[in-house]
């Protein structure tokens, strides 16, 4: 039986920040090459995702830096660069970053945590967390969104993408590697509330139904918000 906390999110075992960062980094370091191969054509098969990224890119004003936070192998970073953005990627996993750098030698990729960005206040023209907040414990989401708010310039957009729902999905020994990780699904209305509480103004809320052809079992949610000017 799923147990919910007082915010409406399904409970998962408590983790310290260091615990979940280490677990997430270890998981993606182990599966990086297999993951990159499996999702080689990920955006090519997802027209709505490409459209949402296009809307986000149009909302970015000027040529200031845009951060792809939790960039993985850099496919979304590359897409945004092709749309004309001055984008760089950040990820916990050095193995994922090695793939991103190998595939995109002209782009910048850095290792780091989304919760502690080495970025001056108000310096980013845009930021996105494309399925990268799904490993952040729910009690640390307010701090995560506050950090996003800190680094964005007034008027700059934020895109947050995640699987929608209440039932979390645990991956154990993916591709035969001795690692495991829980992928946390969220309710779009609650993420919208947290973004608003962090000081953002919601711009759009898009939810797509799961596509069996992509082996999806849950809806996909895309929230775009802006730091008020």
pTM: 0.89
The helix or strand, by DSSP H or E, that contains position 220, with its residue range, turns out to be strand 220-226
Q: How far is CA 154 from CA 1, 121, 195, in A?
A: 43, 10, 15
Question: By the 8 A CB rule, do 106 and 42 touch?
Answer: no
pLDDT category, 9, cuts 50, 70, 90?
very low
* CATH architecture, domain defined by 17-226: 3-Layer(aba) Sandwich (3.40)
Residue among 24, 185, 7 nearest 94 (CA): 24
pLDDT category, 38, cuts 50, 70, 90?
confident
Residue 3 is predicted with a pLDDT of 33
Q: What pLDDT, in 10s, does the model give residues 87-106? A: 999 999 999 999 999 999 99
- pLDDT mean over 183-195: 96
Residue 174 pLDDT greater than 90, yes or no: no
The structure tokens listed for 218 are 């849950």
Domain boundaries, the chain: 17-226
Provide the H-helix boundaries in 60-173. 75-82, 94-103, 141-151
Residue among 25, 38, 127, 139 nearest 86 (CA): 127
């Amino acid at each position: 039986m799923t147990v919910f906390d007082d915010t409406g999110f399904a409970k998962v075992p408590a983790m310290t920040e260091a615990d979940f960062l280490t677990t997430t980094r270890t998981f993606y370091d182990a599966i990086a090459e297999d993951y990159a191969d499996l999702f080689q054509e990920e955006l090519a098969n997802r027209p709505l995702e490409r459209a949402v990224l296009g809307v986000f890119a149009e909302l970015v004003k000027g040529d200031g830096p845009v951060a792809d936070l939790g960039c993985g192998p850099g496919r979304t970073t590359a897409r945004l660069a092709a749309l004309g953005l001055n984008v760089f990627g950040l990820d916990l996993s050095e193995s994922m970053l090695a793939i991103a750098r190998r595939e995109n030698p002209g782009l910048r990729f850095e290792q780091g945590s989304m919760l502690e960005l080495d970025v001056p206040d108000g310096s980013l023209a845009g930021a996105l967390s494309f399925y990268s907040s799904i490993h952040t414990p729910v009690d640390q989401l307010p701090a995560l969104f506050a950090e996003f708010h800190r680094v964005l310039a007034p008027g700059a957009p934020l895109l947050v993408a995640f699987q929608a729902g209440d039932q979390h999905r645990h991956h154990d020994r993916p591709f035969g590697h001795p690692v495991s990780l829980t992928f946390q699904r969220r309710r779009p209305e609650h993420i919208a509330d947290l973004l608003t509480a962090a000081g953002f103004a919601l711009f759009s809320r898009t939810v797509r139904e799961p596509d069996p052809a992509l082996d999806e079992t849950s809806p996909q949610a895309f929230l775009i918000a802006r730091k008020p000017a």
